[in-house]
């Protein structure tokens, strides 16, 4: 069932995946950071804004999967567009 859901070649589906996966990874990393902070009184990363860049790493894996393995250009382009927008937003927000 999951294979059928993620087996689509559509630009909008790529945009959705590009937005969803980094958000889920960011939530997971943030929850892990809170857990580590409560147990060991230290953060995972030196700066909290590094969580945003680290959460984009999952898009690199999904881009490769859709471009190389499945050869779905439309889905890969959607994920790539969201990754560029997230990257530009990081530089605008955190590197003033």
Residues 30-58: tens digit of each pLDDT = 999 999 999 999 998 888 888 999 999 99
- Torsions phi, psi for 44 (to 5 deg): -70, -45
What is the model's pTM? 0.90
**Residue 29: per-residue pLDDT:** 94
pLDDT, greater one: 25 or 94: 25
**Residue 2: per-residue pLDDT:** 73
Burial bucket for residue 89 (CB in 10 Å: 0-12, 13-18, 19+)? exposed
**Residue 16: per-residue pLDDT:** 97
Provide the residue ranges of all domains of the chain, joining segments of one domain with +: 11-94
Angle CA(44)–CA(47)–CA(48) in degrees, nearest 5?
A: 75
Average pLDDT, the chain: 93
Whether the pLDDT of residue 21 is over 90: the answer is yes
């Amino acid at each position: 069932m999951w294979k059928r859901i993620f087996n689509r070649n559509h630009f909008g589906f790529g945009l959705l995946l590009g937005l969803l996966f980094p958000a889920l990874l960011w939530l997971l990393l943030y929850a892990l950071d809170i857990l580590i902070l409560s147990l060991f009184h230290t953060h995972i990363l030196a700066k909290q804004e590094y969580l945003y860049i680290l959460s984009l790493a999952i898009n690199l894996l999904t881009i490769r999967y859709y471009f190389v393995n499945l050869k779905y250009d439309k889905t890969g382009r959607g994920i790539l567009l969201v990754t560029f927008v997230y990257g530009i937003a990081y530089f605008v927000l955190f590197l003033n």
